[in-house]
């Protein structure tokens, strides 16, 4: 079954006995910390027998309590926020972030991405949902180093018109971390059809889209906490923009000076 445990309970609620419904309510109340309990403890919390709790697991399509916990871990792997490992371990989180950043910044493909972005006629940076803040930050950094960098989609808009002016001299940077919109693959196919080089920023779950990108940069986002972390992705943005600025040489430095002069003229920043 592909349904989440809460959906399974909702669908079968009317078929459950009063004791099983009480056990189901206890499960729902403890989804975020089930890993800290044993099946017998959950039964005690619900005020039902261990046999009743076992019957509930089977009626929901699980062989036993271990399978329930595996199911919750699988939800986390797909990006759904789920705390299944007890209290946060900040030392473990710091270690995970450090490893993720190191893996991200040591990729040989980073050099390839810098070259195509620095030399492109124009750059379109695209991201949806949780990928959009990373895409926006990348655009704001790149626009200091080189001209003609756009972000898409604009709020409330679609993406089709953004591809109309692209050609072989251009680059599309597609930011697509897990829980991507359903049409993400179709967008990459359309971007490739323009002749533009596609640079894909994604996490390990984006493997199915590798064939649609000229350059793939992988950024781990899953750590020991309930929510994904974009520390590695933001570090990649910083390093990528810095390298593009270096690659642009004097023109990049001149552009930054001109932007700073305009800030001062308009009094836009402190």
Q: Which two structure tokens, joined as six digits, stand for 116?
A: 């195509």
Inform me whether the pLDDT recorded for 239 exceeds 70: yes
Beta carbons of 14 and 61 less than 8 angstroms apart? no
Q: Given pLDDT bands bounded at 50, 70 and 90, which one contains residue 1? A: very low
What does the pLDDT look like over 78-135, one tens digit per residue? 666 666 556 677 887 888 889 889 989 999 999 999 999 999 999 999 999 999 999 9
In the chain, what is the straight-line distance between the N-terminal and C-terminal CA atoms, in Å? 56
Q: Given pLDDT bands bounded at 50, 70 and 90, which one contains residue 26? A: confident
In CATH, the number for domain 5-77 is 1.10.10.10
Inform me whether the pLDDT recorded for 207 exceeds 90: no
Residue burial 72-98, b: 16+ Cβ < 10 Å; e: rest: beebbeebeebbbbeeeeeeeeeebbe
Inform me whether the pLDDT recorded for 32 exceeds 70: no
Where in the chain is CATH 1.10.10.10?
Answer: 5-77
Q: Count CB atoms within 10 A of the CB of residue 99.
A: 13
**How far is it, in rounded angstroms, from Cα 54 to Cα 148?**
61
Where in the chain is CATH 3.40.50.10490?
Answer: 91-266
Q: Cis link prior to 232 (omega < 30° from 0)?
A: no
Q: Which two structure tokens, joined as six digits, stand for 127?
A: 């991201």
Architecture of domain 91-266: 3-Layer(aba) Sandwich (3.40)
pLDDT of residue 69: 82
């Amino acid at each position: 079954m592909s349904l989440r445990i809460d959906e399974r309970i909702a669908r079968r609620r009317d078929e459950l006995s009063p004791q099983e419904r009480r056990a189901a309510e206890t499960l729902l109340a403890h989804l975020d910390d089930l890993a800290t309990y044993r099946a017998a403890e959950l039964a005690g919390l619900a005020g039902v027998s261990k046999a009743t709790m076992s019957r509930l697991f089977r009626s929901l399509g699980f062989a036993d309590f271990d399978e329930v916990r595996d199911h919750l871990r699988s939800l986390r792997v797909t990006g759904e926020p789920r705390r299944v490992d007890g209290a946060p371990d900040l030392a473990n989180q710091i270690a995970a972030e450090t490893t993720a950043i190191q893996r991200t910044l040591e990729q040989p493909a980073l050099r390839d991405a810098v070259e195509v972005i620095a030399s492109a006629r124009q750059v379109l940076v695209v991201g949806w949902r949780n990928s959009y803040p990373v895409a926006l930050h990348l655009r704001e950094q790149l626009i200091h180093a080189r001209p003609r960098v756009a972000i898409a989609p604009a709020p409330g808009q679609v993406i089709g018109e953004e591809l109309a002016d692209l050609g072989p001299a251009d680059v599309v940077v597609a930011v697509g971390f897990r829980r991507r919109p359903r049409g993400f693959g179709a967008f990459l196919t359309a971007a490739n059809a323009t002749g533009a080089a596609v640079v894909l920023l994604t996490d390990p779950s984006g493997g199915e889209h590798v064939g649609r990108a000229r350059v793939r940069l992988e950024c781990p986002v899953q750590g020991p906490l309930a929510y994904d972390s974009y520390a590695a992705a933001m570090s990649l943005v910083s390093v990528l923009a810095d390298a593009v600025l270096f690659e642009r040489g004097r023109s990049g430095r001149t552009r930054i000076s001109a932007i700073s002069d305009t800030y001062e003229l308009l009094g836009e920043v402190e």
